[in-house]
Structure 1
């Protein structure tokens, strides 16, 4: 029996108009804004496996973290000024190796003169023996503790970077 994915989402308001916010976001590399700390290793390398920009359906990038952990991400949907959806596979970190895959999305919505950005992440655990207890441990340790903290801090970083770049470009 397939279980529903575990989900987490966080939102932030970026004081930059929607089209400019989306354009600035799509020019960023994950290592420019993803939060790292004692629990979340910093990104050491991003390489394109397929495609050139990681902005088109089917593009695949490999992200390597300090310590050697790797995640492959594939663009599943790209709707200008609206949505960016990707799938992550090949998680090699402890606990994350319980994942079959994950789906992430960044949703962009006009919010007055700014943009509401919602980052959603769905974790699909591998089926098998012990899935119930693994699901409980994964939710408590990874989703509620680690991912919650990382997403919250990453969205603060994203807000600051996009706002600053919009100001530098005179688009705010």
Structure 2
């Protein structure tokens, strides 16, 4: 499936990456995180709302192409589509159509999760690459990035707790 990508090499984006280790294998961590209940790990971290649910998921989140609409605690939503999927090692998606304040800052986001062997466990790396709106890069790269990184760290920690529990 050929999906038009949000971000091209010519774009000046704002990448934010967090990482954490787990004792589980890459395949096991991947198997647990890919279909994870978003509302169980993406909780509110001020000033950002948590995910309360997902609507309109077109099919299983296990190959390139499916889409869905994450719903946020402030009543807003976004469009999400799976753009890359490599069983056991990585997946990527893009988020567009935000109906909250993020719509004023960014055209969209490319998210990517990678699961790399790390000794007997896994290094999980989660990146968000924001495509800022014209004139808004300084906000996204400055004050917004500091707050967003905190949100990502909290969500990734909950994902790793879930992986460690073997859920």
Output the TM-score relative to the length of structure 1.
0.85
5+ long unaligned stretches in structure 1: 167-172
Equivalent of residue 66 in structure 2, options 59, 65, 72:
59
**8 A contact 2:35–2:61 mirrored in 1:** no
Counterpart for residue 148 of structure 1: 149
CA deviation after TM superposition for structure 1 residue 95, in Å: 4.2
Residue 26 (structure 1) aligned to one of 15, 27, 34: 34
Q: How many residues were matched structurally? A: 158
CA distance in 2, matches of 1:48, 1:56: 16
Residues 1:46 and 2:54 aligned together: yes
- Given the superposition, is the C-alpha separation of residues 101 and 95 from structure 1 closer, same or farther in structure 2, using an over 3 Å criterion? closer
CA radius of gyration, larger in: 1
* Offset from partner CA, 1:124-154 (integer Å, 9 cap, x none): 0233xxx1xx21122223212x211011111
Task: Pick the aligned partner of 2:86 from 55, 73, 79.
Answer: 79
Whole-Å Cα distance in 1 between the matches of residues 53 and 33 of structure 2?
19
- After TM superposition, give the deviation of residue 91 of structure 1 in Å: 1.4
Pair 1:49–1:23, CA change in 2 (3 A)? closer
**Structure 2: 5+ residue runs without aligned partners?**
1-9
1:126 aligns with 2:133: yes
